[in-house]
Structure 1
């Protein structure tokens, strides 16, 4: 019996098994403020009943959105309701709608831009700790995504690495919570090169990287996507700590993004997916979850 207990303890101490979550993103939009307050407990209860243990609030500031006191109070109410429904909370911080334009700046300007984002995120983290209490928060999410185009050359990554390092350090000072960021691929790097880049960034900063599977955007076919996902989730030393499974089907361009729900049966099949090697399984997003039609518009 003692041996069995020791074996179980050993399994729990493995990082993948101990930390893995089954999470769903919620991307708040200002139009959601018009949803009846009575609907939100039902929305989060549906997520919990669907098997999710964690809600990832993608951002709590997007440009100027959600900066007004009444909007912040609205976010606080939603986060408290999600927590009351039994969901752990990973709090997204700031998101700049112009990030993919501004990341093209020269190195000197880019360093200043990244440092400003890190300071803004640290202040937001302080705010949410005061609002929710440190025990209600399971982690922080950085709202700026890492692509496979801008950072292909090793020499271009120093500013990105410095941003991740600084963000992790400033947020860690707010409490011992993991920090997450996501990345996506579109065939601009070979799968092995992409995996090597993420491994360098993640190991160098301590930030946990989730990779979007690309099934919803469909920039690559299924076989091509499988090569990338396989490369970053290699069990001997995964470059990513989780996979973001896309529940939507993109119908518009990247500049004018629109998407539609999958059929309920398609969505249920997608929800059975799990990240390899005990990684985090994260789904995008709450808007496309079966059972929420009519409650949470896309």
Structure 2
């Protein structure tokens, strides 16, 4: 493909993404991170669980991944996950399907920019293949959006070459996913830990959004790496109404266990949980909550 034709194709893709962004209604979503250990919860419990999620006002289930490393690639495990997705839909929830998560992502993103570019392009191609597989399994009408399980931070994409590798791979992935369904939105989440100034972080999000991805910013309340006032600065920069680089916010309904360097979380007390669930994003954007197992009705998932 000549450079002129490549530029034209990219411009058309971005125009389609912009049109899609204007027509995608806001969602009230709940994340679910499927784990193989979740199979221990009896099958008959899941329909009632999804019905209670719907009764809380959620309209969408964001399945964070449909493949985690080699997890959920075995036919029996994939069939188990498909049954849960069918039950979620039967319970009145729309599905945003996460694609292929790589457990090594948080290490690999620290590689040299050239290696990162090759790695991310490989992830993009794998994601499109996984999306095609699940679309064939569920049928196109069952899927309302795709989720990219990358979690973009404010540390690894400060280098212009690394950021270009990221945005090029995202644009390639969005293009591939739009072949499957041109108007289906593609989502990704981002978080911050004080490694960029708020305005620089907002520019990172704007660069990501320009690829055609809808960006949701994690509010950081559960991990609590920054104080309330500091978090407010980043959130204000990320999702102000006019020309906002983010289209939604992720509300964390867990608390990091003190003294743990790795992620270890516990559910919020009832009053704090209800307060967190009552929050609404600015500008009528997307509202997402992380995650199913921290709701009291899903507490059994924490012990398996």
- TM (normalized to structure 2)? 0.89
8 A contact 1:43–1:295 mirrored in 2: no
What's the secondary structure of 2:300's corresponding residue?
A: coil
CA distance in 2, matches of 1:102, 1:264: 38
Q: Which residue of 2 aligns with 1:7?
A: none
What's the secondary structure of 1:149's corresponding residue?
A: coil
The count of corresponding residues between Structure 1 and Structure 2 is: 285
Q: Could you list the runs of 5+ residues in structure 2 that have no partner in the other structure?
A: 1-18
Q: Which residue of 1 aligns with 2:163?
A: 157
Superposed displacement of residue 159, structure 1 = 0.3
1:166 paired with 2:166, answer: no
Name the Cα RMSD after superposition.
Answer: 1.8
Q: Which residue of 2 aligns with 1:195?
A: 202
Superposed displacement of residue 119, structure 1 = 1.1
Of residues 145-154 and 246-255 in structure 1, the stretch that sits farther from structure 2 once superposed is 246-255
Q: Which residue of 2 aligns with 1:26?
A: 32
1:36 paired with 2:42, answer: yes
Q: Which residue of 1 aligns with 2:218?
A: 212
CA distance in 2, matches of 1:62, 1:152: 27
CA distance in 2, matches of 1:256, 1:285: 18
8 A contact 1:16–1:278 mirrored in 2: no
What's the secondary structure of 2:151's corresponding residue?
A: coil
Alignment of 1:83-162 (within 5 A): 83-162=89-168
Superposed displacement of residue 14, structure 1 = 11
| Aligned with 2:79 (options 62, 73, 76) | 73
CA distance in 2, matches of 1:76, 1:291: 21
Q: Could you list the runs of 5+ residues in structure 1 that have no partner in the other structure?
A: 1-12
Superposed displacement of residue 239, structure 1 = 0.8
8 A contact 1:180–1:210 mirrored in 2: yes
- TM (normalized to structure 1)? 0.91
8 A contact 1:287–1:297 mirrored in 2: no
Q: Extract structure 1 runs of 4+ deviating beyond 3 A.
A: 13-18, 252-255, 294-298
CA distance in 1, matches of 2:216, 2:260: 20
What's the secondary structure of 1:256's corresponding residue?
A: coil
1:250 paired with 2:256, answer: yes
8 A contact 1:275–1:281 mirrored in 2: yes
- Deviations 1:236-279 (CA, angstroms, capped at 9, x unpaired): 11111100000000116675321111112211111001111111
Superposed displacement of residue 292, structure 1 = 2.7
Q: Which residue of 1 aligns with 2:15?
A: none
Check 1:187–1:297 CA distance in 2 against 1; reply closer, same or farther (3 A cut): same
